[in-house]
Structure formats: C-alpha cells, structure tokens
Structure 1
Amino acid sequence: MTTANDSIGVVVLEPNAQLLQKLCAGAQKVWGKYEVLPRQTGKELQLAADNLQIGLLVVRASIQRSSALIQNIIADLYAEGTQLLIIQDTPFKLSATGNTSIAGMHFLSDKAGDQQYSDILALSLVRHCMPGLNKLV
C-alpha cells in the first residue's frame, strides 16, 4: 500500500463493541503505520469500499452471510485485491482452533488465541506488501 490519501490498512466489520475494540487493537499493533478503520454496517462498508483502497477486511463468518449487500461488497473487495480475514464463528470450520490461508483469504477459528490472530495479521501484511503471494496458481 502506498501513502496515498485513499489507502487504508485494515477495515473491521464488527457490530459488537467489545470484539470490535479487541480486533482493532490487534490490527493496529501488527499493521502499525496503517490506519485501522472499524465499520459497523453494510452501507458504511460500501462507502469505504467506494472511496478507499483497503488492504485487509476483518469480518466474522456469520456477519459475512448476514446480507446480500455485505456478501457483494466482500466479493468485490476481494476481486480488487483486498485480503479477507474471516473469523469462523459458525459450526463448520476449516480448522477447529487454528487458521488456514488460501491465496488472499485467511480463515481463523473464533476459538483461536490472540497470538494466532497476530500471526495471521502479520501474514496478511506480508502478503499485502507482496501481492504475488495471493495468487492461487
């Protein structure tokens, strides 16, 4: 990400204030110089997507499925190169306690600890700086 005024490091889509604060604090610690911008509704996320270059979007799986608007925004952001960190809070997880990364999509169990969250944020920052690592092929 460049230092352009229309760029941002991390957007967190989380309506729960306590979890939002925790996710933002962790993202700020790892991404550091980049801004962490919490967004709480689909309309606000759409506004951010329309006006900012987003490096990473953090979202819970249950919120991701909550509306067609959010699903479409997430798909559009991913297509534009934004990485996704999906916190799996649903019964069927890729990993029960850890994380899994596929191209620019990162899946983290809601049972994972703070260190695993920090690790996946660090991985996403490296992949953001080296976008060639986000390709499936």
Structure 2
Amino acid sequence: MRIMGLDLGDRRIGVAVSDELGWTAQGVGVVERHRDGRELEEIERLVREREVSEIVVGLPRNMDGSIGPRGEICIAFADMLRGKLQLPVHLWDERLTTAAAERTLLEADVSRRKRRQVVDKLAATLILQHYLDSKAGR
C-alpha cells in the first residue's frame, strides 16, 4: 500500500512514492503538464505501476493560512484525481516546500540547470515525507 505525493506546478508535477510500509518517500520524477490534461493519464499509469492506494497533493497556502488562486487550482486538481482514479486524495499544506527544496539543492552545490530538473521531484518528496511523518506521529 504505497502513497503518492504530488507537487503541482504550472509546467510540471513533481512525483514521489512511499515505500510499502509508508515510512519513507522517494522521488520518482516529474510529469509534464499539458493543456489537454494528458498528465492525468500519466499519473494514472504511475498509480497502477507503483500500486498506489492514496495520493497526497501539496496545497500552497498563504503565510496567513488562507488559500489563494494557486491553492484553488490544487484543490480542483485533487478533485479531478479523486473522480478519475477513485482513490483517497488528501491535500497537505506545502508552505515553503519548494523554497526548502531549492535551499537543499543550493547547499548541495547543484547547478542551476540541474536544480530546475529536480526541484519539483524533491518538493514532492518533502510533501510526502511530511505527510508520512504526521501519520506516524513523528
């Protein structure tokens, strides 16, 4: 029973998946966004391949906790996933997750070009790991 974490961006969706016990999150990659919604089929394929039983979508909140336009987009995307995949889809507060991912990559001295390629995957991994830790009471 694996859990998938998604970091929804304008151009790409970062993807991470838990181990079978739900203890650790591993980055899987990114799914490119398309105007026609083809990314849903790619996510569905990953769900089947990885035997995912539930999904966590990062919900960007404003610093005061309110939900802005970007958060509304993520809520609508989570609703679409629920309808298409018939799986539980949870929203998880992802405030500053992408900034933390960028900082981690900078500290690791990853080049700007490489950072662009992996920041979405790392953000998804952080979102999922925070969710897993909260479930385990860590």
- One fold, TM greater than 0.5? no
Highest RCO, 1 vs 2 (Cα 8 Å, sep ≥ 6): 2
Q: Quickly name the TM-score band, shorter chain normalised.
A: 0.3 to 0.5
TM-score, normalised to structure 2's length?
Answer: 0.38
